[in-house]
Amino acid sequence: MGIARSRSTPFVRKVELHLGVDVPLPCDSCCRVSAQTHPNHQSLDTDRVRVTIYSAMNRGEGRGTVITVGTFDGVHCGHRLILRRMEEIACTEGLERVIYAFAFPPRFSLDGERSGLLLPEQAKVALLARCAERVERADFQAVSGVDAVCFARDHLIRKFSAQVIVVGERFRFGRGRSGDIPLLRRIGEEEEVRIVTVPPLLSDGGMVSSTRIRSLLHEGKIAATAALLGRPPLLIGRVLHGDRLGRELGYPTANLAIDPAILLPATGVYLVHAFWDDGGGAGILYIGDRPTLKRSEMRCEVHLFSPQRTDFYEQKLEVHMLDRLRGDRAFPSLVALRQQIDRDVACAHSLLAARNEEPHPIFTLKSTPG
């Protein structure tokens, strides 16, 4: 994706997103990163993210920082615009980059909601760690009652020795979302901290946001979702034992255990490309409750066309959704279901033949039992 923006000033009023050209994550051409890998490829352990994540305790003074604040769910193209501005400032002024990231969106935390995320938190932090020396994992509940002035002054500026704060123009903060950009600028003047605002990224007349992306994904609109994310939407899950029905039908599947906090797309069948610790390949993904069998449990099952291995149990898969083939429905018999799967596979191969992109994993998955 390409972003059209004025280069004469960082405070342009409108930013347009032109679909079809990828916007990569800000990488580290002039700034040190804490991850011990190439900045465009992040290692993701099954049990912990293998990046430097700083807690609020025992932090050394260090040099001054440029900091940004938000949930960053999905790390979409709008987020990347903010992260890129932060990187520009850090590289120009020799500042350390800090991302203060909430695990869940504030409204999720206030409503007690614990589902609907676009990425597992560990995966999100791994992406953010490509763009900063410090990723502060914050609990919104712990600061939701903090006064706006106290939050900006004590929790951001003084704690992190901030010299610059970079946020979106619609940024709100503090108890009851009482803090706004004018208040933040006044606090910045008092603390001798510069406030830089980044305008929203627009696409097709609407703002690029995690809320909009969730709505598109919920409707199964994969191409539109991918355009706003700047990458295919994905699921990460461990392969568990199933009932082997797929094998009986001639289409063995890997049954994925998906974090319940993650938003699943609309039920149906999808063209996907899956990656595991030592390989990858195309296939189809089924998401649904198997109405033909009159079951109620939601399932995520991947059939790989050329799996290169026969045993995926306890492996973690990173599954990129490329297109939606059809919705879910009940069939009168298993024979009819098998015939539909035959058509799904044929359709998937036809779509694959027309694709030009070389698929690449976003993470390196390290699978361990447990």
Encode pLDDT of 347-358 as tens digits.
Answer: 999 999 999 888
| β-strand partners of 365 | 44
Region 265-292: mean pLDDT is 94
Region 41-45: mean pLDDT is 42
Q: Residue 327 pLDDT > 80, yes or no? A: yes
pLDDT at site 324: 98
Region 292-305: mean pLDDT is 90
- Start-to-end C-alpha separation, the chain: 38
Cβ count near 205 (within 10 Å): 6
Query: pLDDT category, 247, cuts 50, 70, 90?
Result: confident
Query: pLDDT category, 41, cuts 50, 70, 90?
Result: very low
Query: pLDDT category, 311, cuts 50, 70, 90?
Result: confident
Q: Give CA torsion, residues 101, 105, 108, 113, to 10 deg.
A: -60
Contact 305, 281 (CB under 8 A): yes
Query: pLDDT category, 21, cuts 50, 70, 90?
Result: very low
Q: Could you tell me the two tokens for 198?
A: 């980044």
pLDDT at site 181: 97
SS3 for 229? Answer: helix
Residue 304 backbone phi and psi in degrees, to 5: -100, 135
Contact 362, 42 (CB under 8 A): yes
Query: pLDDT category, 106, cuts 50, 70, 90?
Result: confident
What are the helix (H) ranges across the chain? 77-93, 106-111, 121-128, 140-143, 148-150, 181-191, 210-218, 222-229, 245-248, 334-354
Angle, alpha carbons 271-2-29 (nearest 5°)? 100
30 or 78: which carries more pLDDT confidence? 78
Encoded amino acid at 5, one letter: R
What contacts 208, CB < 8 A, 6 or more positions away? 17, 76, 77, 78, 200, 201, 202, 228
Encoded amino acid at 95, one letter: L
Q: Considering the chain, what percentage of its residues have pLDDT values greater than 90? A: 64
| β-strand partners of 279 | 276
DSSP code, position 73: T
SS3 for 158? Answer: helix
Residues 56 and 44: their CA atoms lie apart, in Å, by 23
Q: Residue 282 pLDDT > 50, yes or no? A: yes
pLDDT at site 140: 87
Residues 185 and 157: their CA atoms lie apart, in Å, by 12
Q: Residue 69 pLDDT > 50, yes or no? A: yes
SS3 for 175? Answer: helix
Region 29-57: mean pLDDT is 36
Cβ count near 14 (within 10 Å): 11
pLDDT at site 110: 62
Region 133-160: mean pLDDT is 94
Residue 44 backbone phi and psi in degrees, to 5: -125, 110
Residues 358 and 347: their CA atoms lie apart, in Å, by 19
Beta strands in 24-181 (DSSP E): 42-45, 65-70, 96-102, 134-138, 162-168
The dihedral sign for the CA sequence 43, 69, 217, 118: positive
Mean pLDDT, rounded, of the chain: 82
Residues 137 and 278: their CA atoms lie apart, in Å, by 30
Q: Residue 109 pLDDT > 80, yes or no? A: no
Contact 27, 101 (CB under 8 A): no
pLDDT at site 46: 34
Query: pLDDT category, 112, cuts 50, 70, 90?
Result: low
Q: Residue 225 pLDDT > 70, yes or no? A: yes
Contact 242, 312 (CB under 8 A): no
Give the model confidence (pLDDT) of 166-220 as tens digits.
Answer: 999 999 999 999 999 999 999 999 999 999 999 999 998 899 999 999 999 999 9
Q: Residue 363 pLDDT > 90, yes or no? A: no
Angle, helix 222-229 to helix 210-218, in steps of 10 degrees? 160
SS3 for 112? Answer: coil
What contacts 139, CB < 8 A, 6 or more positions away? 102, 103
Domains recognised in the chain with CATH numbers: 7-207 (3.40.50.620), 235-366 (2.40.30.30)
The answer to which of 107-121, 183-197, 236-250, 346-360 has the lowest mean pLDDT is: 107-121
pLDDT at site 366: 61
Region 327-354: mean pLDDT is 96
Contact 269, 325 (CB under 8 A): yes
Q: How far does CA 193 lie from the centroid of its chain? A: 30
Nearest one of 4, 32, 33 to 18, comparing CA atoms:
4
